[in-house]
Amino acid sequence: MPGSLVKLVSLPHMEYLVSDRAHGSVKVVGRGEVCIRGPFNMDRYFGMKEKTDAVIDADGWFRTGDVGAWLPDGTLTILDRANNIFKVAQGEYVCPDKIERAIARCPVVVASFVFGTTLNAKLVAIVVVGPDFAKWCAAKGVDAANRVDATKLLLAQVKAACHEAVLMGFEIPQAVTYTDQPFTTDSGVLTPTFKIVRNVAKKFYQADLVRMFKELGEEVKI
């Protein structure tokens, strides 16, 4: 595009840095959020200064929300989205934040981490349960010491909460793993403002995520 300027800006919380020299086995010359500047850019969102300031900085760079990488031949490839929206195998886009808010309706859920990939049709979730989980299970006629039955009960509750939130079928997790250990900033799973760092959470719970996909009959590489 003649007249355009393009640069990448590091996203440390997603582990995309302009100093990166590889993306998996692919050689790159930096990764980060794609920012563009030029006469073709819009000036602003009409009457919405706050929204404008969120995407256009003082120097006129427009933050696209796309995560990209420069390749050695000078071309740009798109890798990800900075706002955590991702696509599943059937081509549908998923917003994990929305699903996690729905799961939070469950009375025993403290927090959750919803995960999926472009190669998998189903979603899975890590669910943090509260101290009353065993008591809640007992009230439902399930012994919490039986982890298989307790997981089935929790999954049913998660699905019910998602249906209540009017989520689409592809947005509803099909497997869960529960833990009573909260997400923390010390582990790197949470930012100082208590938002999930998804790349870190993916690695932290890698074994559980892989196991759940295998139980669903799907393979996944994390």
Question: pLDDT category, 193, cuts 50, 70, 90?
Answer: low
Domain segments of the chain: what residues? 5-81, 86-215
* Cα 165 from Cα 70, distance rounded (Å): 40
* Residue % of the chain over a pLDDT of 70: 98
pLDDT digit string, tens, across residues 153-190 = 999 999 999 999 999 999 999 999 999 999 998 988 88
The mean pLDDT value of the chain amounts to 91
Question: Is it the case that residue 146 has pLDDT exceeding 80?
Answer: yes
pLDDT at 40: 86
**pTM confidence score:** 0.68
Q: Using the CB atoms, write b or e for 32-68: b if 16+ within 10 Å.
A: bbbbbbeeeeeeeeeeeeeeeeeebeeeebbebebbb
Question: Is it the case that residue 50 has pLDDT exceeding 80?
Answer: yes
Q: What is the mean pLDDT of residues 182-210?
A: 88
- DSSP assignment letter at 200: H
* Cα 55 from Cα 33, distance rounded (Å): 12
End-to-end CA distance of the chain: 35
Query: Which CATH number describes the domain made up of 5-81?
Result: 2.30.38.10
SS3 content of the chain, % helix, strand, coil (to 5): 30, 25, 45
CB 8 within 8 A of CB 30: yes
> CATH number of the domain at 86-215, out of 3.30.300.30, 3.30.2350.10, 2.60.120.260, 3.40.50.300?
3.30.300.30
Question: Is it the case that residue 219 has pLDDT exceeding 70?
Answer: yes
